[in-house]
């Protein structure tokens, strides 16, 4: 038996390099698109050459109002 508080997850959203939301992610996956890009510049560190980048997402602005107070931002 687990000690402490119990939680219930009632839903999940997606914020990925493919897009924001289940529908956009699913449509891009069906088209076999990828959110991974390559940046092979001479000063790019090897572990950063291929990466996924989430665009057009401002966490505090896009987060529902009732959840904003629960987020700690440095």
- pTM of the entire predicted model: 0.57
- What are the pLDDT tens digits along the chain (74 aa)? 567 777 776 666 788 999 888 899 999 999 999 999 888 888 888 888 888 888 777 777 777 788 777 877 66
Per DSSP, which regions of the chain are E strands? 15-16, 19-20, 36-38, 50-52
pLDDT at residue 37 in the model: 87
Tell me how far CA of residue 30 lies from CA of 16, 23, 24, 39, 54, in angstroms. 15, 11, 10, 25, 19
How far apart CA 24 and CA 72 sit, in angstroms, is 27
pLDDT at residue 26 in the model: 92
Burial class (CB in 10 A: 0-12, 13-18, 19+), 18: buried
Bridge partners (DSSP) listed for residue 51? 37
């Amino acid at each position: 038996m687990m000690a402490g508080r119990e939680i219930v997850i009632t839903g999940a959203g997606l914020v990925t390099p493919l897009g924001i939301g289940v529908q956009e992610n699913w449509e891009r996956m069906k088209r076999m698109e990828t959110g991974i890009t390559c940046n092979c510049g001479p000063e790019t560190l090897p572990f950063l050459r291929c990466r996924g980048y989430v665009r057009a997402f401002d966490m505090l602005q896009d987060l529902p109002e009732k959840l904003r107070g629960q987020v700690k931002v440095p």
